[in-house]
Structure 1
């Protein structure tokens, strides 16, 4: 260990006449700790809310959507083969969709009837089904006389129906007869009801088998489009850009951000704003570091003069005080990171404990549509906070260290 390290650590330890300076040092460490912890916790909560709201908006909306401009998409198997070869793509499935009215017991509900293949991600959620049977098996059961349909809980409530009941589906299609145009209508049996999973768009969808939808909507062998799932929401734009180079006009390739990205732009701006505002806490702690070092320089002017007289260079003197400030910054950053991660990882139980302790409601799950308090720790956010804290701490040491290095030893010892 160089003598600069030894002297820096020595100056941080309290002596009888220097207790006040040592207390200021610990306050500086505490300030950096609280600032870093607050930044990590708030960014984790904002990320959690961002993901939660994104799920609220998207629900079962695909990550990437491929359609054909002004017409149905034919030969979709070849398109699916090309799509699955792209990186980050988990699945690609065709669908047929058309707006329709559901009619039952003189009640009407508007939905988007979507024909899907078996294995679609919509089947990953929980359903109310006939005798708790597998919804996917019931939907694709060709032996039943009436085809099956899956609707949302809100739609079922509006129609006043339950699983096993029949509902008439009326698309915007008409049959010309001698008596005029008669709307096309077909009965379906409700084989499953899904509770709104979080996406407010989910309630407007009703699901049927792909083959049934093609026949009912006269789509022949064509489909409305292809839904693509990728391994992360954040990779959707990258996959969409890659596929645009493969499928030019009349194909239309859109990511979920192209469809609904404007809903989330405000959240991104809010997260950046909170990062800046809470970063000021770390900046205030850095002023404490600078104040501490200035007081140490004033207190140790005789020590500095003696070190210079013994052959210490101005660079070594500057290094002593920079190291002292960095020790405070590193200790505060490490402790703050540990505290922030501890709180962020256990945010939900901490919130519930506070609610039980004080008998108040801090996080209303019914309002936000989330079953737990959201908190998602991103390693990139943590590293950014640590880098900012260390940079601010380093900058706070420069002026006091420079003043100490420029001190004239003869002037410092003149009146001693």
Structure 2
């Protein structure tokens, strides 16, 4: 089949500029799954494009690809100097600034949600240890009468609660790491299982679900989880250490 292209840069006539029309054979059709590219991009030979758009020996834009796209800001100044004052330089980050702003908001919100989940888990540790102290009141009183100090009782309950936090944090770290490393395989499995397309490219402008394990962020989350679990054990441990043996054994 042929495709007809219409360009406003046509021949100048007494009635104004007449648009230029050209017919080109279709050699292939590409589809990325993203309407931003599928509906607006056409690839054609440079000579035919120059003749159709009347750029002659020049071009209207140059695209530079980097081996590491995250370092694009390091090349803006050298490219601007090399191109001269006649050209303007824009990066893929600048053209998609709103998209990256939305991703940054999502990252901050997800960190807040994760913090709330950790706080709820810490409250579970507190409630569990408070019930443990209540159930073990008689045993604590016996240990105190046998010479156990308040510090020893406090350390025992602190170690009990801290061990729960350490085991839970390590288990969550390992499960999260495995999940992130296999996120695309899991997405495809869930898509096939449910019969629906998860993480649609038309919405997110990405053909696959990306996942990058950032050591700094992982370390921050692990340290925060350990801090909250350790802090959650202080009140129950203090309550166990301050238990009066006389009151605990009065009705035994």
Q: TM-score, normalised by structure 2?
A: 0.71
Report 1:203-222 matches (<5 A): 203-222=39-58
SS of 2:5's equivalent in the other structure is strand
Match of 1:378 in 2: 213
Provide the rounded CA distance (Å) in 1 between the counterparts of 2:176 and 2:73: 36
The CA deviation at 1:398 is 1.9
For the aligned residue pairs, the C-alpha RMSD in angstroms reads 3.9
Match of 2:170 in 1: 334
The correspondence for 1:389, drawn from 225, 234, 239, is: 225
Provide the rounded CA distance (Å) in 2 between the counterparts of 1:375 and 1:177: 53
Provide the rounded CA distance (Å) in 1 between the counterparts of 2:199 and 2:239: 58
Provide the rounded CA distance (Å) in 1 between the counterparts of 2:93 and 2:51: 32
Match of 2:190 in 1: 351
Matched, 1:270 2:106: yes
SS of 2:54's equivalent in the other structure is coil
Larger deviation: 346-355 or 262-271? 346-355
Per-residue CA deviation, residues 142-171 of structure 1 (Å, 9 max, x unaligned), is xxxxxxxxxxxxxxxxxxxx3xx3x44332
Per-residue CA deviation, residues 13-36 of structure 1 (Å, 9 max, x unaligned), is xxxxxxxxxxxxxxxxxxxxxxxx
Provide the rounded CA distance (Å) in 1 between the counterparts of 2:16 and 2:193: 67
Q: Which structure's relative contact order is higher, taking Cα pairs within 8 Å and 6+ residues apart?
A: 1
Larger deviation: 170-179 or 283-292? 170-179
The correspondence for 2:34, drawn from 196, 199, 211, is: 199
1:322, 1:397 within 8 Å by CA — same for their partners in 2?
A: yes
The CA deviation at 1:396 is 0.5
The correspondence for 1:401, drawn from 226, 237, 245, is: 237
Report 1:220-259 matches (<5 A): 220-231=56-67, 235=70, 238-244=71-77, 247=80, 250=85, 251-259=87-95
SS of 1:188's equivalent in the other structure is strand
The correspondence for 2:10, drawn from 158, 165, 174, is: 174
Q: Quick check: which one's helix share is greater?
A: 2
Match of 1:294 in 2: 130
> Mind listing any 5+ residue stretches in structure 2 that lack a counterpart?
none
2:199, 2:209 within 8 Å by CA — same for their partners in 1?
A: no
Per-residue CA deviation, residues 229-256 of structure 1 (Å, 9 max, x unaligned), is 33455x1xx4225423662573433222
2:201, 2:207 within 8 Å by CA — same for their partners in 1?
A: no
Q: Quick check: which one's strand share is greater?
A: 1
Provide the rounded CA distance (Å) in 2 between the counterparts of 1:331 and 1:246: 52
Per-residue CA deviation, residues 177-222 of structure 1 (Å, 9 max, x unaligned), is 6887544344422222212x02222121111122332344333443
Distance 1:296 1:411, change over 3 A: same
Provide the rounded CA distance (Å) in 2 between the counterparts of 1:339 and 1:368: 27
Aligned residue-pair number: 239
SS of 2:64's equivalent in the other structure is strand
Match of 1:64 in 2: none
Provide the rounded CA distance (Å) in 2 between the counterparts of 1:320 and 1:328: 13
Distance 1:365 1:331, change over 3 A: closer
